[in-house]
Structure 1
Amino acid sequence: MNMYQFTKSLVWTTLKPIYRFDIRGLEHFPKTGGVLICSNHIDALDPPVVGITAPRPVHFMAKEELFNMPILKPLLPKLNAFPVKRGLSDREALRKALALLKNGDVMGLFPEGTRSKDGKLGKGFSGAGFFALKGEADVVPCAIIGPYKPFKPLKVVYGEPILMQPYRDRKASADEVTLIIMNHIQKLLDANKS
């Protein structure tokens, strides 16, 4: 068992008794090929929750400052995280993300860029559309439906993949594709509220 699998198992064992996970839509998740998971963002626990509920290992960009912390610096790369400079055009992080997707890996992304303060889905940044179009991967929308309260159900819903090739063929813009992705996430939120 590698560090990723060990940590996934440890986090699952820790969180499962606290949050009654209701995971839906795993049958939609592609078994092979590059996948970009795009999820809403309501809590700091969202990345580990996507990581433990997705059926394949997930890579995440993490803010560069975390890699400067002595405890996290050696651990984060083993957990499939790689650094990104926030607020800048970080070419190295962009190249790394695109290479992962083109290599058939899974990457997790929160298009809103930051946690929602009111729980409602915010505007997505065009980076989601950029990675979806350039990464040779399809998009799996994901909705996390809280709140994160101990012993209350926490829904994690994976939608059907959004096939990107038609958008690449007609040279759709990153903004247009981001809007389409956000609409899919909103539909999942609306359909699974109750």
Structure 2
Amino acid sequence: MKRNEFVYRLARFIVLIIAKTVFRLKVTGKENIPSDGSLLVCANHSSNWDPVFLVSAIPTSRSVRYMAKEELFNIPVLKQIMISAGTYPVGRGQGDRQALKRTIELLNSDETVGIFPEGTRSAPGEFTSAQPGVGFFALRSPAQILPIAIIGDYRPFRRMRVAIGKPVDISDLRDQRGAAKAISERILEEVKTVYFNHA
């Protein structure tokens, strides 16, 4: 089933209201978002609210696609909403080839895909190590890579911020041995730099 743009825009409108009213979301750096071409949106990850903040921060002209754990697709109504909004399933911890293939297809079709380079959640303001997956996607697509920092303590009515950095240049790493891991590490370092420059 293809993404339904109306459903995506409606869902974004709803979560944007929540982000603005409940979390007083402030977004900076929108001028760093490329206007065309595929885009790999990379951010730190501390809460299940993070996709909401990213979707709220990125314009509808750049509707963000996400992988979501396949268990969520077992809930009939939620499954239809997620598919219509462009979310697709991934089997966590098992190298889901179909999800990897789908991500590369999207990035080779001028789409925007959101991903968390650490692959798991960490406490606000803390970071774990970068996983090679984001570097794998960067190597196999022409996507520009946008580092984003999500900053705050996730408490209702306390300010949450999304700071958008400038695209990451990986041209010097593409031909290196172990490039996927090195690219992932550079991307995460850029995310951390944006975070600590705005925290």
What is the TM-score of this pair, normalised by structure 2? 0.92
Where does 1:1-194 land on structure 2 (aligned, <5 Å)?
2-55=6-59, 56-117=62-123, 119-169=125-175, 173-193=179-199
Deviation for aligned residue 1:117: 3.2
Identity of aligned residues (%): 36
SS at match of 1:157: strand
Deviation for aligned residue 1:119: 3.6
Pairwise CA RMSD of aligned residues?
1.5
Residue 46 and residue 117 in structure 1: after superposition, are their counterparts in 2 closer, same or farther (change >3 A)?
same
Q: Which amino acid in 2 is paired with 1:23?
A: V
In the alignment of these two chains, the number of paired residues is 193
Deviation for aligned residue 1:164: 3.7
User: 1:160 & 1:118 partners in 2: Cα distance?
Assistant: 22
Q: Is the 8 A contact 1:41 1:110 kept in 2?
A: yes
More divergent stretch after superposition (157-166 vs 6-15) = 157-166
User: 2:124 & 2:83 partners in 1: Cα distance?
Assistant: 32
Q: Is the 8 A contact 1:147 1:154 kept in 2?
A: yes
Deviation for aligned residue 1:38: 0.6
Deviation for aligned residue 1:9: 0.4
SS at match of 1:83: strand
SS at match of 2:92: coil
User: 1:51 & 1:15 partners in 2: Cα distance?
Assistant: 10
> Once the two structures are superposed, what CA deviation does each residue of 1:84-126 show, in whole Å capped at 9, x if it has no partner?
1111121111111001011011000011112113640111110
Deviation for aligned residue 1:171: 6.3
Unaligned runs of 5+ in 2: none
User: 1:51 & 1:120 partners in 2: Cα distance?
Assistant: 22
Q: Which amino acid in 1 is paired with 2:42?
A: C
